[in-house]
Amino acid sequence: MRLDKFLKVARILKRRTVSKELAANQRVMVNGRIAKPATDIKAGDIIEVVFGQRSLTVRVLDVRDNVRKNEAADLYEVVEERFIEEELDT
């Protein structure tokens, strides 16, 4: 499954266009490498998404085309979630 579609189906991001933009702007990594929106995702992959002041790292557990809202969280597990603090120049 494509990266942008997985992020939407798993409800990590709300819209596919948003996930596509993040990947196109090099804010998504798969297995430690910068990923494009069409990167193929499979079970076991580690995805890191940086959006705003937040970085979310998840491990893909399952890949399915359609899931219900309450089953979406079963597709991944959160490995790490951290907030990024910007360093201010003084």
Averaged over 77-84, what is the pLDDT? 92
Q: Tell whether pTM > 0.85.
A: yes
Q: Which two tokens stand for residue 33?
A: 């490498």
Residue 48 lies in a domain: yes
Residue 76 CA to residue 85 CA, distance in Å, equals 26
Residue 89 lies in a domain: no
Residue 22 lies in a domain: yes
Residue 47 lies in a domain: yes
> What's the number of domains the chain is made of?
1
Residue 88 lies in a domain: no
Work out the percent of the chain whose per-residue pLDDT is above 90: 87
**pLDDT band at residue 5, thresholds of 50, 70 and 90?**
very high
- Asked if residues 39 and 2 have their Cβ atoms less than 8 Å apart, the reply is yes
Residue 16 lies in a domain: yes
Residue 12 lies in a domain: yes
Work out the percent of the chain whose per-residue pLDDT is above 70: 94
Residue-wise pLDDT tens digits, 36-76: 999 999 999 999 999 888 999 999 999 999 899 999 999 99
Range of the domain at 15: 3-83
> Nearest to residue 48, comparing CAs of 64, 34, 69?
34
